[in-house]
Every structure is written in structure tokens, then in C-alpha cells.
Amino acid sequence: MSKFRVSRLQAIEIAVIAIVAVVAALIRILPLQYGAYLTAFDPLFQFRATEYVVENGYAAWWTWHDDMSWY
């Protein structure tokens, strides 16, 4: 039977990736303390497009121009 071996470099790489993932998740959920709202970094265009499709139908989406988006 062979033993599972991890080199020091691999252990450091795994630790750094884990720390980065945890910090990224914490930063991402930080705004939840103020409530679950869409902010500048969230997909506001997709939200408006989905609302438009729900209200007007999928066929109308092909000719829709979103004047609230930056092109």
C-alpha cells in the first residue's frame, strides 16, 4: 500500500487557495448585513431583462432596447 504524500509546496498551495476562497466568500456575503439588495456589482441588467420578458413575453425581448444600460 502506498501512502498519500503531500509535499510542503503542495500544502502551501492548498492552504493559500483555501484562504483566498474563504476571504472571497466572506467579502461576497458582507453586504448581506444591510439586506439582500441588488447593488452595482450584481446583474441588474439581467434582472431588468427578466422582468421585461415576464411582463411582455420572450418574442418582445428581441426588439427591446434597455435605455437604462450603459453601452
Per residue in 7-49, pLDDT tens?
Answer: 999 999 999 999 999 999 999 888 788 887 766 656 778 888 8
Give me the mean pLDDT over the 45-70 stretch: 88
Looking at the whole model, is its pTM more than 0.75?
no
Residue 2, pLDDT > 80, answer no
Give me the pLDDT at residue 16, please. Answer: 98
Which residues are within 8 A (CB) of 49 and not within 5 positions of it... i.e. 6 or more apart? Answer: 61, 64, 66
The set of cell numbers assigned to 60 is 418582445
What stretches of the chain adopt beta strand conformation (E)? none
The CA distance from 42 to 35, in Å, is 14
Give me the pLDDT at residue 30, please. Answer: 86
The CA distance from 26 to 3, in Å, is 35
The set of cell numbers assigned to 51 is 422582468
Task: Give the domain ranges of the chain.
Answer: 8-61
The C-alpha cell 498551495 sits at 13
